[in-house]
Amino acid sequence: MSFLKLFKQFVVTGFNKKLLFLSETTCWSYEIQPDLPLEKCRPKKYFDADSDSDEESTQQPQKPPTNGNGTADNVQIVALEVHEGKSLLAVATSDKSLFLFAIDPEGDETNKDRLKLLSRRMVSRTSSCMKFAASGKFLVVCDKGGDCYRYDCDDDDCKKPGRWLLGHMSQVLDVLVPDNERFIITSDRDEKIRVTNHPDCHSIETFCLGHGEFVSQLEFVTAKDGKSRLLSLSGDKSLRLWDYETGKEVARKELSHPGNRFAVKQLLDGTLLVAVLFYEPTEMAIYKLTEVGSLTSETIQTLKTNQNEVFSSFSFDERNNLLSLVVDKVTEKISLKWYQFEQEKCKFNDLTPNPLEKLFFDNTENDKISYVDSVSFLFKKKFDNLKDYQERKRRRIEEGGK
């Protein structure tokens, strides 16, 4: 797995145990160490989430987490999120750890001064996604078992155990928190989008129902009336717009292939750029939404990888350029692609070579990352039991007539 985020003037990438902070002139790296100190607390489950006492969580020292095979040697990053306002970096790893760092991009040449570990806390299961609240006061972490936890990030509370917020019956694939922090919005493998009240998470505001397959990603967009809407991508070949406070579907755009991930960028004229990565991650379509409220759009470009390469994580930068990590399935090498946005022609040009790509290559030349298909298992499995039943019934009738 690999991740790409933007933090101020830096492009932040994460894969294996490695974090890279890149600009056009500098690059510095940090490697997650499995022997970093672990807070002696466990996340509070649903049956004790209302308790204000941490006494039970800290009575017994925690065992060092592992990656599932009894060792900590092959620990990998499974989720990554940044908060620019508070200069925070959250990293979840395969050994069920949650690291919270304070970022100081102006520090000296030693990585220790640029990334300060605030806490390392335990999560119940391997994390699938996470998101900072707009205020940066807390982080919502969701896992593959369907549970979502709140982890406080303030200075005084950043070492406290996570508190259970809500649960799904299947894997949670994405989570959002609106600016007013009134809701926790989650999507899952069972084609549901759930809008839960916060902090009273026992009360569900509404569901956004209509997708026929897993809902892989959610994003907030702003319509012309200034109201915030919810944009969702699904494996049912559709991109949908929702009024998430009422659960009503506002608009829908049919796609040519099942959706995997997408990135959005609002332009100054109010239009929206949407880059959609399909189920087969060798192709990325870029749409220009001229009318956000109705998803009226045109396809402006389709980006394709070279042979044996697949797109991984990607994002738009502040200048509307598209940055993407690309993995070669054969050589297991990872590279950074930079597509420059041309405003007049409304198209993207591949800037190869460029300083950012070269810096990334120089700092990852000896790194390898295995490509893992994390989408195919999300599709619903269909079983035709009726055909077997009808065949058995036909045989019984034939035997009975003899």
Residue at 213 is within a domain: no
Residue at 28 is within a domain: no
Residue at 2 is within a domain: no
Res 42: pLDDT:
82
Residue at 341 is within a domain: yes
- Residue 348 or 60, more confident: 348
Res 110: pLDDT:
54
Mean pLDDT of 140-152: 95
Map the chain to HEC letters: CEEEEEECCEEEEEECCEEEEECCCCEEEEECCCCCCCCCCCCECCCCCCCCCCHHHHCCCCCCCCCCCCCCCCCCEEEEEEECCCCEEEEEECCCEEEEEEECCCCCCCHHHHEEEEEEEECCCCEEEEEECCCCCEEEEEECCCEEEEEECCCCCCCCCCEEEEECCCCEEEEECCCCCCEEEEEECCCCEEEEECCCCCCEEEEECCCCCCEEEEEEEECCCCCEEEEEEECCCEEEEEECCCCEEEEEEECCCCEEEEEEEECCCCCEEEEEEECCCCEEEEEEEEEHHHCEEEEEEEEECCCCEEEEEEEECCCCCEEEEEEECCCCCEEEEEEEEECCCCEEEECCCCHHHHHHHHHHCCCCCCCCCCCHHHCCCCCCHHHHHHHHHHHHHHHHCC
Given a cut of 90, whether residue 132 has pLDDT beyond it is yes
pLDDT in tens, 348-375: 999 888 889 999 999 999 999 988 877 8
* Domain limits for position 356: 310-395
Give percent of the chain with pLDDT exceeding 90: 66
pLDDT in tens, 236-257: 999 999 999 999 999 999 999 9
| Tokens at 27, concatenated | 């690059």
Nearest to 289 by CA among 301, 277, 299: 299
Residue at 169 is within a domain: no
Residue at 356 is within a domain: yes
Residue at 337 is within a domain: yes
For the chain, the domain total comes to 1
pLDDT in tens, 12-50: 999 999 999 998 888 999 999 888 888 877 888 765 655
Task: Output the pTM of the full model.
Answer: 0.87
Given a cut of 90, whether residue 211 has pLDDT beyond it is yes
Residue at 318 is within a domain: yes
